[in-house]
Amino acid sequence: MTTAAKTLSREPGPVLVESPTFDVERVRRDFPILNQKVRSKALVYLDNAATSQKPQPVIDAITRYYQSGNANIHRGVHFLSEHATGEHEAAREAVREFINAARTEELIFVRGTTEGINLVAQTYGRAHVGAGDEVLVSAMEHHSNIVPWQILCEQQGAKLRVIPINDQGELLLDEFEKLIGPRTKIIAVAHVSNALGTINPIREIIRIAHAHNVPVVVDGAQAVPHIKVDVQDLDCDFYAFSGHKMYGPMGIGVLYGKYKLLEAMPPYQGGGDMIRSVTFEKTQYNTLPYKFEAGTPDVAGAIGLGAAIKYLNSVGIENVAAHEHELLEYAMQALSKLPGIRIIGIARNKAAVLSFVMEGVHPHDIGTILDQEGIAVRTGHHCAQPIMQRFGIPATVRASFALYNTKAEVDALVAGIKKVQEVFA
């Protein structure tokens, strides 16, 4: 097996400089869960790509809503309903500012990235993809950006084609452009790979796609918590992300879509709130974004997401990116010195995800031993089985960093890996 030291031929990435005002110890105090011990050891939480921990302001916002503001929204005329409606829509405005959408009507609250992508596949996709057409995805996609398109292709008689990557885990742009043809109707690509951490050149991908008049759906679940996202600057057609990966609650996410595309799309689900009027003969649908928000929404979730955005803004997404980049570089260097460790995914431009395998030891065994040391990592295929097949492995250990992680925690991870090696020596 090749050791990481032999494979780390990474080119320098962008220069990210942490602000002198960023204080990771102060940030950690905002996350009460980090104070606890697990298995009698201080918790080292490195599973942030699965879900991030929640700062006190987010916990407080959700608690406050249920303690003193709980009501259903939009149709009530009483005080609580109007107040809850105001908070819910204020959260939508916070999302708009955070990703620089042109208008709030372009932002649909969904359960998460998965639902956002399924919505596009089953509305825009079914209207625009027919028999013999093609949908492009990349080899590094999460299952949530593969399966919805497979379902669509099976329904419509279309074909799913795959953009290849190189051994560093980088998407091959030349091959990508060669795959685009007159039958290509949708391109769906992750902004950041959840399994490798690769930051794709999404603006260039969109530019190439648009040169062929093909819309682009971006899975932004692993990008929004770590780097600045500007949907107008990217010129993406759709962009989906989840609240729980960016310090917000589970069960809430956002689908951004260009207004003219959303306006032309049929509803995704039928029910209350998505209608303007209903008779047994015909239903008139509501305006955007409510046309796509059938039923009682996750009001507390939206309010919590708004609080998470406010928190991230207070820290500064540039500070987050710089801090996590420094942690990633530190961890890459530390693990590269360990014998028998192979890092999977050494793209030139990476977010704070470090996947690796250890010679002769299954990732699940590594994760179990690390857990005994209080270290939480993710092991398995990370809902990205095709990328595991691409690298000829069944699974990896994935350590993923967030704004509250420290170099001392990376040191704890390295010490834990050494214990694993002692056990299996």
Which residue's entry shows tokens 């625009």?
Answer: 128
β-strand partners of 240: 219, 255
Provide the residue type at 375 as one letter: I
The two three-digit tokens of residue 398, written as one number? 């994935």
Q: Is 236 a catalytic residue?
A: no
Which residue's entry shows tokens 């799309």?
Answer: 265
Q: How far is CA 244 from CA 22, 68, 306, 307, 370, in A?
A: 23, 23, 12, 12, 24
Query: Which residues lie closer than 8 Å to 4 by C-beta, 6 or more apart?
Result: 332, 335, 336, 338, 341, 342, 343, 356
| Neighbour count for residue 424 (Cβ, 10 Å) | 15
Of 34, 38, 208, 383, which residue is the catalytic one?
A: 383
List the helix and strand counts (H, then E) for the chain: 16, 17
Query: Which residues lie closer than 8 Å to 408 by C-beta, 6 or more apart?
Result: none
At residue 97's C-alpha, the angle toward residues 91 and 101, to 5°, is 105
Which residue's entry shows tokens 């270290």?
Answer: 375
Provide the residue type at 281 as one letter: E
b (16+ CB within 10 A) / e for 390-405: bbeeebbbbbbbbbbb
Active site residues: 383
